[in-house]
Amino acid sequence: MSNSNETIHEEINCALRNHSAEYAEIRLEESESTYIQYRGRELEDIGTSTARGGNVRALTKGGWGFISFNELGKLSDKVELATRQARVVGKETSFFAVTNPARDIVIASMKKDPSSLSLASKKSLLDEYNEIIWETPRIQTSSITYREGSRRIIFANSEGSYLEQEVVDLTLRVNAVARDGNEVQQAGISIGGRGDFGVVEGLHKQVKEIAQRAVDMLSAPKAKSGECTIILDPILAGVFVHEAFGHLSESDFVYENERLKEIMVLGRRFGGKHLNIVDDATLPNLRGSYQYDDEGTLSTRNYLVREGVLVGRLHSRETAARMQESPTGNARALSYRYPPIVRMSNTFIECGEASFEEMLSEVKEGIYAKNWYGGTTAMEMFTFSAGEAYMIRNGKVAEPLRPVILSGNVFTTLSNIDAVGNDLEMNQGGGCGKGGQSPLPVSNGSPHIRIRCCLVGGG
């Protein structure tokens, strides 16, 4: 922070000693962002930006007061303002689970710090990727987006917690669009990392492959619509478990929705004994990893589904108290401009025992779907678009298809997973959106999974 840490520490302590709320917390943050964006052949946007600010939350009689600010002084006044707001809406008993106060300093660890490289050198690398795309005939347009950000955060609360955390995050998305008359197809890659610039270097071969794949899909046949056996690669399976099931495990959705309360009952069976779903912020060097969440709660490994049975969900301190369960360390905020809400971290299906070849060998005719473009979820219903698709014939991956669309009921689909692979991979190229806070860094993953009777539509 611009002022000395000693001065800030004393001002925070003073503000948190002299307040009338049941609970109060202060978050201060400095951040720096770099962005480079291409549309087609042209460089559309490039630059760096900085931000500084903070927020205060106060809890009184079940009501929350929240203010965010850019001027870091007069913290006692800001705590008092948030407390007055809380009194206006507070009309009931407060629900807020007890946790142990934490005092710690967490420093980001990186193999290749992106801040050590010039903006010009980063642009030069992306220029190379863009040239590769445009060397491919029949490419109509393309997009490349690179973003990196570093944040330095101080968090303190009225219970005695005081944390300093440093976070560095980066992403690269490359997309190529090919056209032949009225036919248009696209292919892309999305990569991210916990601040290690090395993850976005050396992708020349992959960029060339996605450009050629977009062209090749112009002549690929469409899949036959209907139910069939489908194998999902780790990326698409990870997106499925994050979007279709992970959000339903965020407990603020559950306790605010009567229908979800009836569906998401702990102990209910959703799949076979080979199905285990985990959310784990403690895993090292993943985009969704952290040591403490944005309420100062220590991160944990949380089983959501164990041997096919729903055994847990994700909590903030408030939702844990409301549902009489334990906090899980999943209260996260995109920045100081927002209050923390229940969010996923690194969500994945654990490894099973089947090899990819074994899963294929038992499929006479089906579809192998990889990667993803996007999708929508509505309660337990989902629709996802795969990035690639191939026919499976007599236990072998055969000819390429146009990208397919998968849809159905998430709980029916989970019960139809009849094989889980032994080749877990984590995808770090995405970002999660919820409550106007997007894109929050997360990771998701899975081994290959095989689903019987999955509804597939031709792209």
Q: How far apart are CA 97 and CA 43, in angstroms?
A: 49
Q: Which of 186-190, 372-376, 418-422, 429-433 has the lowest mean pLDDT?
A: 372-376
3-class state of residue 435 by DSSP = coil
Q: What is the mean pLDDT of residues 267-296?
A: 97
Confidence of residue 3 (pLDDT cuts 50, 70, 90): low
Residues in the chain: 459
Q: What is the mean pLDDT of the chain?
A: 95
- The predicted pLDDT at position 6 comes to 73
Q: How are beta strands 277-280 and 42-60 bridged, if at all?
A: unpaired
Strands (E) in 254-380, as ranges, are 277-280, 301-306, 309-310, 331-332, 341-342, 346-349, 365-378
- Give DSSP secondary structure letters for 282-316: TSTT-TT--SB-TTSPBP-EEEEEETTEE---B--
Domains of the chain, by residue range, sit at 5-219, 226-458
Q: For a pLDDT cut of 70, what percent of the chain falls above it? A: 99
Beta carbons within 10 angstroms of residue 42's beta carbon: 8
For residue 71, what is the DSSP state? -
**Sorting pLDDT into bands at 50, 70 and 90, what band is 110?**
confident
pLDDT of residue 342: 98
Q: Which fold has domain 5-219?
A: PmbA/TldD fold (3.30.2290)
Which backbone phi and psi does 232 adopt, to 5 degrees? -100, 140
Distance CA 459, CA 455 (A): 13
Residue whose structure tokens are 């709980």? 411
**Which residue, 428, 381, 437, is CA-closest to 406?**
381
Let me know: does 108 contact 153? Beta carbons within 8 Å: no
**Tokens 């899975």 sit on residue:** 446
- Rounded to a whole number of angstroms, the CA Rg of the chain reads 24
Tell me what pLDDT residue 4 has: 63
Would you place residue 9 in the very low, low, confident or very high pLDDT band (cuts 50, 70, 90)? confident
**The pair of three-digit structure tokens given for residue 372, joined into one six-digit string:** 């993803």
Instruction: Show the tokens assigned to 415.
Output: 């019960």
Q: What is the pLDDT of residue 227?
A: 95
Comparing CA positions, the residue from 343, 341, 342, 370 lying closest to residue 356 is 370
Residue 362 has pLDDT above 90, yes or no: yes
Q: Is pTM, for the whole model, over 0.85?
A: yes
Calpha distance 459→456 (Å, rounded): 9
State residue 1's pLDDT score.
56
Task: Count other Cβ atoms within 10 Å, centred on residue 32.
Answer: 16
Q: What is the pLDDT of residues 17-71, one digit of tens each?
A: 988 999 999 999 999 999 999 999 999 999 999 999 999 999 999 999 999 999 9
112: three-class secondary structure by DSSP: coil
Do 251 and 393 contact (CB within 8 A), yes or no? no
Work out the pLDDT band at 430, boundaries 50, 70, 90. confident
CB 190 within 8 A of CB 56: no
pLDDT tens track for 153-186: 999 999 999 999 999 999 999 999 999 999 999 9
What is the separation, in whole angstroms, between the first and last Cα of the chain?
A: 50
Closest CA to 350 of 422, 402, 247, 301: 422
Q: What is the pLDDT of residue 188?
A: 95
Q: Which amino acid, 381?
A: M
Q: Provide φ and ψ at 210, rounded to 5°.
A: -70, -35
How crowded is residue 378: how many other Cβ atoms within 10 Å of its Cβ?
Answer: 7
**For the ranges 5-9, 199-203, 372-376, which has the lowest average pLDDT?**
5-9
